[in-house]
Amino acid sequence: MAVVLILVILAVGSVVFHLLSPWWWTPIASNWSYIDNTIIITFWITGFVFVAVVLFVAYCVLRFRHRPGNRAAYEPENKKLEVWLASVTTIGVAAMLAPGLFVWNQFVTVPTDATEVEVVGQQWLWSFRLPGADAKLGTSETRAIGDGNALGVNPNDPNGLDDIIIEGGELHLPVGKPVKMLLRSVDVLHDFYVPEFRAKMDMVPGIVTYFWFTPTRTGTFEVLCAELCGTGHPQMRGTVVVDSEADYQTWLQEQQTFTQLLAASKEQKTATASTASSLK
């Protein structure tokens, strides 16, 4: 009876804890209600199965407990039971996977008015690139990475000369405007993850992945790496700040363009060479 009681408490307690858990009522920072709805559907299906299995085990412990003189009945197979279990399992798995197909379609179908923002992951740092005055991002490639060009922006592409470069700093976004996040890694696998945005996508070297979202309220949100990427993985964190339009424009004017970074790097090299020459 003690085992039966423990199993029943486990099943009921899990449901009560889930319903009363604080995260359940936490507002999110984007308009992706369909992500939460999919999670809720999954919780209902898996929760029902969990409770049913635990209560069934409790019933079996009680119903078929040891009694003097009782002998177990040997039944090597039961086709009716096997068909029933396989059918219910198939329906349950399909019910969890089907909503995901519709969600994925929304996840990658980008609105035509979305602004492109590039996220670059590297051990163990987040960097960002935004389009400049021409509203276009320049091309990039890993082979172009070097001094003064940590993100590998193509210096021969005129569209990239006015791009805004943010190395290891905060990414600011305007509230209420759709954004297409272009995700690129320059070394190993990473995963760009902002929990409040319900935003998560792998970053594979040699491939540009993407998703989109619309920030719906201002605030500061933490960026995490959700893919084990080396010894510094736990410290690979960043920040996304959602601003009002006025605050966003003020912040944008304070950032350096790719051209300015190249000029600063050239000046630094010249100064270093001059210093070294004078020391000789």
For the stretch 183-226, pLDDT in tens is 999 889 999 998 888 888 899 988 899 989 888 888 898 999 99
Give the model's confidence band at 72: pLDDT under 50 very low, under 70 low, under 90 confident, else very high.
Answer: confident
Which residues lie below 8 Å from residue 212, measured CB to CB, with a gap of 6+? 107, 108, 109, 110, 111, 114, 178, 179, 180, 181
Percentage of the chain modeled with pLDDT above 90 = 22
Q: Shortest CA distance to 125 belongs to which of 155, 110, 145?
A: 145
Gap between the Cα atoms of 100 and 98, Å rounded: 5
- The predicted pLDDT at position 278 comes to 62
Cα 45 versus chain centre, distance: 23
Q: What's this model's pTM, rounded to 2 decimal places?
A: 0.74
- The predicted pLDDT at position 225 comes to 92
Give the model's confidence band at 270: pLDDT under 50 very low, under 70 low, under 90 confident, else very high.
Answer: low
Q: Is the per-residue pLDDT at 10 higher than 80?
A: yes
**At 200, which amino acid appears?**
K
- The predicted pLDDT at position 180 comes to 92
Query: How do residues 25-56 score in pLDDT, each as one tens digit?
Result: 555 555 567 777 787 888 888 888 889 989 99
Q: What is the CATH number of domain 115-270?
A: 2.60.40.420
- The predicted pLDDT at position 31 comes to 59
Domain boundaries, the chain: 2-65+78-108, 115-270
- The predicted pLDDT at position 40 comes to 80
Q: Is the per-residue pLDDT at 174 higher than 90?
A: yes
Pair of tokens at residue 212: 């989109």
- The predicted pLDDT at position 15 comes to 85
Query: How do residues 222-255 score in pLDDT, each as one tens digit?
Result: 999 999 988 999 989 999 999 999 999 999 888 8
Q: Alpha-carbon torsion 114, 117, 121, 125, what sign?
A: negative
- The predicted pLDDT at position 99 comes to 80
Q: Is the per-residue pLDDT at 126 higher than 90?
A: yes
- The predicted pLDDT at position 242 comes to 92
Query: How do residues 82-110 score in pLDDT, each as one tens digit?
Result: 999 899 889 888 887 888 888 888 888 88
